[in-house]
Amino acid sequence: MTCSVLQITYSLLPHLYKSMDDDMLNGTFQTIEDYEKNMQLKRDQEEEEDLAAALSTTTTLRDTPLSTPIPMSRGESTPTKAEVQIVGRPLDLEELEDDTKEKPAASSASTKAAPAPSLLDYLDTDDSESEDDMMEDTFAFSKNIQNPAEVLQGVNPLNGQPLNYCKVVGDETDTICELNNREIIIKGYSQRDLKEAAQRFRNIQKLYKARRRPTIIVPCVHYPTQSDKYWLYFANLNRYAHKSFVDLMYADSLRPYYVLLPVFKDPVTNQLQKPKDLLDVPVAPPPPPQQQHQAPMAPVAAAAVPARRPAPPRTAAPPQQKQLPPQAHAMRPAPQQQQPSPGYRMATGPTPSAYMNAPTYQQQQSSMHGEGLWGEDRGFSNNYAATGRTRAPMLSPTTPRPTNNYSNMSPNAEDFPALPVNNHDVYPTPTMAPPQQQPQRRVMRIMPQQSTRNDNGGPVSLLEQAKQYNLHNMQTGLSEALDGIRGFRGEIQLSAKLGKVLWTNLTSEIQRKTWEFGEIKDIVVKEHGVRPLFNDVTTAYEEIITPISEILPKPYNRTACFEIHAKARNQPALPYKPVVLIMNQGIVEFKKVITRKTKVAEIDWVSLDRKFDFQMSLTTHELGRPDVKPYTTFLKKISVCPITSQLTYENVRDFLEVDHILYKQKTRYRIHFPFVVEITRVERVPIKLQPSNGYGTEKFLGLTGKGEVWYDFQVYYTLHDEAFKSNLNLGVGKLPSWDVDSILGPQDQPNALIDYVKCLLLLVEKCEPLFNS
């Protein structure tokens, strides 16, 4: 700034003053064009005078004899010999004399062809750089990137066309970026521009790796009150006492699901008790007469395994009907089955269904794999036995006597993890080494703790240990996920939903054992491949969601919208891609177009002895333009009834086809700041094909109000909204102003994350007594 002021003061102001003095008599100030024209005329006159003087001087020297002195004018001193250094060939006076008549015209033409610097050139303060001042830098891709050219290919959010990140970054940073094998050559005139371009490519690479990384899954187990030491048992969902509160989004009757139940020791017998929420095994009906004649079993197998009643065929078992809790029966009206007409078409997709109707299949699987039921081959006491007898270990009437192999299953404090006696034949040690090598040791990651005692000097309780362990795992997983998507251009959402955490991919060995809360993540999930699965729906009954909504304050906002799930493309040669079109109920226009939804991280929190768990998820939405084809064409073919909310539409041939439609009614509640609860009534709209009447067009009718309904209970942390909005218009390779600490809190004390979990646990505890009566 100082340099510019000095340049104006010493260079431009003298020209201004001189021009004002010359034009003072005219009474006005000449324009810049007139000034440049006058300056050009003055330069031409001066050049012509200098050329004429040079020609006259040359002619006089050539025609004057050497003895004749050169006349001097008055007051002129005698010339002295001056030394002049000339670069180039010597001047030929004869050729100069011959070309004198032709030179003035050509000189004036060349002078006019090369314009002189104008007054505007003095305002340009940027120094012109030469090619010698150009600097160069390189950016090398990571070794785990197989195809660097794929990293540099993106999609333009404005028109959906392919985008070359090298060209975009080069234009925005005033550099030249070229891909050379596994490196990017960056050329520019400023070191700051080179660093900015390299940093942008580094952010693009990080985002590319984060988006292709699988979902970060963090299981957390929590017992809500102070208690003695407990163990965890994977119980089949069909034997769960509160199964009526579990609604599934995946209608897979042949896939077994499990829930985690706490197991405590009997203080008298020092043996593990049966979980209170685990139902007894139902007594199988006697086999039909035609199935009595079966091949006899081998004597060795009969001696080793207790005799069991044969399970009935799977087709003979009637499907289980979903039952409401006893307190909800009085509020629930008589069920009415609605049979759609033959013209209805229900599109496939995630819908809530009844629980799995395959208890007989589970019994068959148990008999095939030798799965031990609770109390079978064990020495555990039965909490449901008669209380008038002594406290001796008792068995359920439907379970056989224990054998010697599993009679002592109580965990030993010296063993880690707790294993049964003589378990080498039953539980082989998993190892990746060949048989001739020694088995590898198992490495477990233990959360570092400062001390085993609290501030008061006493030992740390099991509840406090679980809190610290879960907080460490949650913070690590969410920090990694947030750091990976920080440069994402689109919509970022961090939310939590009440539901139930189920478990899949369990083997018979995992089902027989009991586990500690610290072994679920590192051993059960990572080593044995067990996966937590959130049912993704809070409840399917209005009788359950109504008392939950009554504990909340008065709602402040209600909205309704349609979610049209379809597959679309903008060119016939391209493949179809799934899209979600968000349309308001009252206005026929698309509010948002989601082209891709990715779940980056999920925290599956299990609240033991509670009917509801919750999942905290971090998702990203890639957004598209709603004002481009084929969406604008499809919008013209939609009509909505303002009274019944039923809609009709037509597919766009070869460009857009509707899969299914969801009608969502959202009610929002403000609880303690900054949390907002959103209860959503979701209806899957039945789709009916309308008669074409010979016109050749297929019209579809969405019968809103006649489809399946379920409810979602979600909690949002509103302070994150403004931070995530900056990612909607983020440039290529740029980073927003927020970081991980501003979302979760400082690394040593993540207060925002702690408050979020406290709010969710408070809501879970508030919902529990509503259904205990």
Instruction: Give the tens place of pLDDT for each residue, 332-372.
Output: 444 444 444 434 344 444 444 433 333 333 343 444 344 44
Give the model's pLDDT for residue 656.
Answer: 96
Does residue 262 carry a pLDDT above 50? yes
Task: State whether residue 183 is helix, strand or coil.
Answer: strand
Residue type, 769: P
Higher pLDDT, 515 or 302: 515
CB burial readout 383-419, b (16+ within 10 A) else e: eebeeeeeeebbbbeebeebeebbeebbbeeeeebbe
Kindly state the average pLDDT of the residues 726-738. 93
Q: How far apart are CA 215 and CA 478, in angstroms?
A: 11
**Residues 489-525 pLDDT 10s:** 999 999 999 999 999 999 988 988 999 999 999 999 9
Q: How many helices (H) and strands (E) does the chain have?
A: 19, 23
Q: Which long-range contacts (CB under 8 A, 24 or more apart) does 309-317 make?
A: 309/284, 310/284, 311/284, 311/360, 311/363, 311/364, 311/367, 312/284, 312/285, 312/287, 312/360, 313/360, 314/358, 314/360, 314/361, 314/364, 316/360, 317/359, 317/360
Three-state DSSP class for residue 603: strand
Mean pLDDT of 698-711: 94
pTM score: 0.65
Q: Is the pLDDT of residue 104 over 60?
A: no
The pLDDT of residue 97 is 58
pLDDT band at 156 (very low <50, low <70, confident <90, very high): confident
**Range among 130-139, 154-163, 369-378, 581-590 with highest mean pLDDT value:** 581-590
What dihedral angle (degrees, nearest 10) is formed by the CA atoms of 408, 414, 419, 421? -40
Q: How confident is the model at residue 577 (pLDDT cuts 50, 70, 90)?
A: very high
CA dihedral 637→643→645→649, nearest 10 degrees, is -20
Tokens of 579: 């899209």
Query: 437-457: string of b/e by CB count within 10 Å (b at 16+)?
Result: eeeeeeeeeeeeeeeeeeeee
Q: What per-residue confidence (pLDDT) applies to 38?
A: 83
Mean pLDDT of the chain: 75
Q: What strand order describes the sheet that includes 231-236?
A: 231-236, 258-263, 501-504, 531-534
Give the whole-angstrom CA distance, residue 611 versus residue 547. 14
| Residue 585: per-residue pLDDT | 87
> What value does the mean pLDDT take over residues 606-625?
95
Do 35 and 119 form a contact (C-beta atoms < 8 A)?
A: yes
Distance, in Å, from the CA atom of 373 to the CA atom of 360, rounded to the nearest integer, reads 14
Which value, to the nearest 10 degrees, does the dihedral of the CA atoms of residues 544, 762, 608, 526 take?
Answer: 110
Token pair for 142: 């990571």
